Structure 1
Amino acid sequence: MSLLLPALPAYAEGPDYRTHLAGVTPFADPRQRVSTTQAPWSAIGRVQTELGSRCTGFLISPVLVETAAHCLWLTQPQRFVQPSSVHFLRAYSGDKFTAHARVVRFIVPPGYAPNKESLSAGLDHATLVLDHPVARPDEAFHVSTTPDDIKPGMAVVLGGYEQNMPDVITADLHCHMTGLTHDRSGNPLFSHDCAGTHGSSGAPLLYQDASGWHVLGVQVLASSAHAGGQAVPLLNSPGGTSEDPQ
C-alpha cells in the first residue's frame, strides 16, 4: 500500500511485496512462527475477500471477529466490499484451518473514513458477524481490558499473517506499548514497538497476566522506517458503532 501522510505510518494491510518490510527494522527481525494450535494464536485467523485481499482477524465471541476496517474497503469504486464476499479462516496455517465461516454483515464505527485515514485512523476497526459459530465461548478473546489496566511500557505481543509469510502466523513476542497518540480528529491510538508488516492489519495487540491473554487493540498501521506501529484501542468502555450501510 502507499504511505500515508508523513505523520502517520503505512497501512499494515497485505500482501504488498516490497524489498523493505514496513514495520520491521532491517537486519533485526524478531518475528517467529507460532503454533495456531495454542493460545492465544488459536483465536486468530485470516480474513480474506473473494477479490483477493487478505488481513488478520481475531475472535471476540464464537460468531464475532474483529479486524481493521480498511481491509474491507475498495479503493475503486470507493465503497466497502459486500459482506458475503468476506471469509474468516480460524487458525489458518498452510492449507489447514480449524474452521471456516462467511461474513453476513459487518459493523464499523461512525466517522471512519477509509480515504481520510489521517483523520480517522483511531476508528479503523470492524466487527464481522459470522454465519455460524467457529469456536466455543472460552476459545475467543473477551474485551475486558479497562483504561486502568494500561501501564507505560507494558509488555505486549503482536502476530498475524504477514506479507513475507502470509500462510502462517508470525509474531513478535518481546515488544512493548510505547505510548498513546491520536489521529487528526483526536481519536486515540496505541503506539508500540512490535515488528509487524503488511498483512498484520486486524491482528490483536495482546498482553498476558496471571488470568490469561487480553486484547489491547487492533493493529492498523505499520511504521514506514522502523519496527513498530499503531493499534486502535479495544477497551471495556464501549463507544457507539454503526452497521455498514449496505
Structure 2
Amino acid sequence: MPFRLSALLLLLTLALPLQAQDTRLERLDTGDASRGWEGVGRLDIGGLAFCTGALVAPNLVLTAAHCLYQRDTGARIDPETIQFLAGMRNGRASAYRQVRRAVTHPDYVYADAVSTERVRNDLALLELYQPIRNTEVTPFQTDMRPTAGDKVAIVSYAFDRSEAPSLQEICDVIARQKGILVTSCDVDYGSSGAPIFSFSSGVPRIVSVVSAKAEVEGSRVALGTALEEPLAVLKAALAAGQGYGLPEAPRSSRITVGGGRRDIGAKFIRPPE
C-alpha cells in the first residue's frame, strides 16, 4: 500500500542568517569525528545566508535548487556570490572555492506555491572555479535511492549548528512516493541541499538531497529529491555549456489540493513570513 502524506505541513528550508547554538545531534567538530565527511561543506551565499552542499566531483557540488533563489523576491542568486567551504568546522575549512556557474533542474519552478513537483525537482549542480585536489576532501559517489524501511544517514549544517556539520547516522526511509524520499532524518533551516547517504554498498553514497522539512501527524520528517535521472540531466547541461547568466526564475500558479494527477493527498501551507 503506498504511503499517503496526510495533513502535511511543508516548509521550504531556505537559507537563514548565520548563527550557532548547541545541538543534540553528533557534532563533527574534531578532526577524528569529521574524517571522511570533509566532502560535505557549507555553501555561504553572499555572506548572509547558507545551505549545505556535497562534493560529487573535484569541481562539482550537489545541493538544492531553491538555495539559488532569493526568498523575498524569487530572483536567482548570482552563483559567483556563493562560496563552498568544504569540511567547514570551527571557523576553518579543508578547502575554500568560489562557484563559477550553476544549473538547476529544467523542471524546477521556484514560486510561492509549494508542491510535490517542486520538491521532486529541487536539485542543482554548482561548478567551482577550481577543482578541489585535496587528499582530505574526497568526492562522494552516488547510488540508487533506497526503498521504504531502509536505513540512511545525513550530514548537514543548520541554523543551530552552522559552525560544524552534524551527523545523524541512522534515519529511516518512511516512504518513496512520486519521486520524493520521505525520511525520519532531523533537519532544520540551513540543511537545504544536505546529502542523504546510504551505506548499503559498504561506503557512504549519496542517494538523495534534502529539499524540505515537514510534519506528518505531528512527527518531523525530511523530504529528499530524486537523484539518479535528474543528476544526469544536470551534468549534461553543464557539459553543454549551460548555466552562465541564469535566466529569471519562472513562476507557476498555486496548486489546489485534490486537483490533477500529481496530488498525493498532501495539504500544503505557505511558509510563515
TM-score (norm 2): 0.73
Gaps of 5+ in 1: 1-5, 18-28, 183-187
Q: 1:228 to 1:134 in 2, by over 3 A?
A: same
Offset from partner CA, 1:221-242 (integer Å, 9 cap, x none): 1124533210012226755345
- Residue of structure 1 in register with 2:228 after alignment: 235
- Residue of structure 1 in register with 2:258 after alignment: none
1:146–1:236: 8 Å Cα contact kept in structure 2? Answer: no
SS of structure 1 residue aligned to 2:163 = strand
- Residue of structure 2 in register with 1:140 after alignment: 139
- Residue of structure 2 in register with 1:209 after alignment: 200
Rounded to whole Å, the distance in 2 between the matches of 1:78 and 1:15 is: 15
Q: Quick check: 1:34 aligned with 2:35? A: no
Deviates more, 1:132-141 or 1:101-110: 132-141
Q: CA deviation at 1:191?
A: 0.4
Q: 1:221 to 1:76 in 2, by over 3 A?
A: closer
Q: Which has the higher strand share?
A: 1
TM-score (norm 1): 0.81
Rounded to whole Å, the distance in 2 between the matches of 1:108 and 1:146 is: 20
For 1:162-173, list aligned pairs within 5 A.
162-173=158-169
Gaps of 5+ in 2: 1-6, 248-273
Question: Which amino acid counterpart does residue 123 of structure 2 have in structure 1?
Answer: H
- Residue of structure 1 in register with 2:124 after alignment: 126
Q: CA deviation at 1:78?
A: 2.7
Q: 1:77 to 1:10 in 2, by over 3 A?
A: closer
SS of structure 2 residue aligned to 1:133 = coil
Rounded to whole Å, the distance in 2 between the matches of 1:215 and 1:234 is: 9
1:159–1:196: 8 Å Cα contact kept in structure 2? Answer: no
Which of 44, 48, 51 pairs up with 1:48? 44
CA RMSD of aligned residues (A): 2.5
Q: Percent identity?
A: 21
Offset from partner CA, 1:142-170 (integer Å, 9 cap, x none): 22x135xx333111111211111211111
- Residue of structure 2 in register with 1:103 after alignment: 99
Rounded to whole Å, the distance in 1 between the matches of 2:48 and 2:157 is: 14
1:40–1:213: 8 Å Cα contact kept in structure 2? Answer: no
Offset from partner CA, 1:174-220 (integer Å, 9 cap, x none): 211111133xxxxx110000111111111100011353111110001
SS of structure 1 residue aligned to 2:199 = strand
